[in-house]
């Protein structure tokens, strides 16, 4: 192993914005309390589509959040931040503001670091779908009146470059797409930037997916999302491991992680939340949204092999667990096949039971949840498990918060097209 490859990597800052909270404390408290983020959609007219419920952030007070952020920022950053956020589309606004929160949380406002040794990776793709959709509608009516900045704002890279501009980072800035594993894939690249490309700090942003009505209708027709049984009880729609699950619940959400080289973080006196031991990715060799036990086991095994962590050392898995009929059982089978008897000593839970599925940003929003649980020593419940699927015989923290000391945590993410990506964390002492 080279000296570069031996560089240890830690999480030194985090931020969140989901319908149940935009601070770490409110987010964690809502999770442990079993509070659902799922309501009826407001951001889109659902009268002509099947999907009626989701985790909706369209009424989030962006102007108020921007004002509060500007008060905290140094004077030289305020003008560009105000200008960028005001002109940016919905998803980019949320990403910028969440990234600023992570920047503060990491204490980067109190130090003067070389900007060319820090970078930004945004996890996600096709992020501006609703922006493109609404402009297509406008184009059909009158092409002259489409948004003047659509050619720029419609690109995913606009999110990464906007965050980089606000924070003044001059290192690598790019996006990584891997469907629902996107933010974990971005995390893997952030680790590589630090270990192999001589950067000190990378900000990984799980950006909100701005769903268009076409997206929601297409996913419903595919049978991927819940749209039949819970229109009047949206908080019950996301129900991993329950017999009545019928598909995932799409949700808005942003999560940001500051990934930093350990000695660099120590030298500047940073708070260290956890050590990132490794991230492994592998594929099923299929473009279809059909999860594979073989592919998931192979990815988790590769992660353990590469990090040198034994099966028995893993205490907790934050599951992908989307509330789909096939996906939930595939992951449970994969965990049991890989971990054997130890699977019955593990604690497993599903953050999506409360958040819904934030899609491309899910690995980030759920990693923030996982690290907070590791820090506090209490795992949040998996809610809505009213009639557990008989094949789910491992401990999924059904309907109850569980006190559990976590030293090693695994975060699973499995995207459409058989894109598997899993990360491993150790509690930092």
Task: State how far the Cα of 168 lies from the Cα of 77, in Å rounded to an integer.
Answer: 8
**Residue 196 to residues 120, 202, 272, Cα–Cα distance (Å):** 16, 13, 21
Angle at 322 between CA 36 and CA 158, to 5 degrees: 85
Contact 20, 235 (CB under 8 A): no
Phi, psi of 397 (to 5 degrees): 55, 45
Instruction: Give the three-state DSSP class for 274.
Output: strand
Helix axes 129-141 and 90-105, enclosed angle (nearest 10) = 160
Residues 411 and 186 sit within 8 Å (Cβ to Cβ):
no
Would you tell me how many other CB atoms lie within 10 Å of the CB of residue 157?
13
Could you give the residue numbers annotated as active site?
180, 320, 357
Give the span between the Cα atoms of 123 and 115, in whole angstroms: 21
- Residue 3: what are its φ and ψ, rounded to 5°? -60, -40
- Do the strands 39-40 and 118-123 form a parallel or antiparallel pair, or are they unpaired? unpaired
């Amino acid at each position: 192993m080279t000296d570069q490859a031996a560089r240890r990597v830690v999480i030194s800052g985090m931020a969140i914005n989901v319908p149940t909270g935009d601070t770490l404390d409110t987010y964690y408290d809502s999770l442990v309390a079993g509070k659902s983020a799922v309501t009826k959609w407001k951001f889109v007219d659902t009268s002509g589509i099947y999907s009626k419920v989701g985790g909706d952030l369209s009424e989030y007070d962006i102007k108020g959040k921007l004002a509060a952020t500007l008060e905290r920022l140094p004077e030289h950053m305020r003008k560009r931040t105000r200008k960028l956020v005001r002109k940016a589309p919905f998803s980019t606004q949320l990403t910028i503001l969440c990234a600023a929160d992570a920047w503060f949380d990491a204490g980067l406002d109190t130090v003067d670091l070389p900007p060319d040794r820090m970078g930004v990776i945004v996890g996600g793709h096709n992020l501006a779908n609703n922006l493109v959709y609404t402009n297509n509608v406008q184009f059909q009516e009158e092409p002259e009146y489409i948004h003047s900045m659509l050619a720029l704002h419609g690109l995913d890279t606009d999110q990464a470059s906007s965050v980089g501009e606000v924070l003044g980072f001059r290192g690598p800035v790019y996006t990584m797409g891997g469907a629902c594993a996107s933010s974990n894939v971005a995390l893997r690249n952030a680790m590589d930037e630090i270990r192999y490309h001589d950067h000190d700090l990378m900000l990984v942003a799980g950006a909100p997916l701005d769903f268009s009505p076409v997206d929601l209708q297409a996913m419903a027709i595919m049978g991927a999302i819940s749209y039949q049984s819970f229109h009047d009880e949206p908080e019950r729609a996301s129900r991993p491991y329950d017999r009545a699950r019928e598909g995932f619940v799409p949700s808005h959400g942003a999560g940001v992680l500051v990934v930093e080289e350990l000695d660099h973080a120590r030298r500047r006196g940073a708070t260290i939340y956890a050590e990132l031991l490794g991230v492994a990715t592998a594929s099923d060799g299929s473009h279809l949204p059909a999860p594979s036990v073989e592919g998931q086991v192979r990815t988790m095994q590769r992660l353990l092999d590469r990090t040198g962590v034994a099966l028995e050392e893993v205490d907790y898995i934050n599951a992908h667990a989307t509330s789909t009929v096939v996906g939930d059982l595939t992951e449970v089978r994969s965990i049991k096949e890989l971990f054997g008897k130890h699977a019955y000593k593990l604690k497993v839970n599903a953050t999506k039971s409360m958040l819904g599925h934030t899609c491309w940003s899910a690995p980030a929003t759920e990693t923030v949840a996982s690290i907070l649980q590791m820090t506090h020593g209490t795992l949040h419940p998996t809610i809505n498990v009213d009639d557990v699927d008989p094949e789910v015989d491992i401990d999924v923290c059904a309907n109850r918060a569980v006190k559990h000391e976590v030293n090693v945590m695994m975060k699973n993410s499995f995207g459409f097209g058989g894109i598997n990506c899993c990360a491993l964390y150790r509690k930092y002492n």
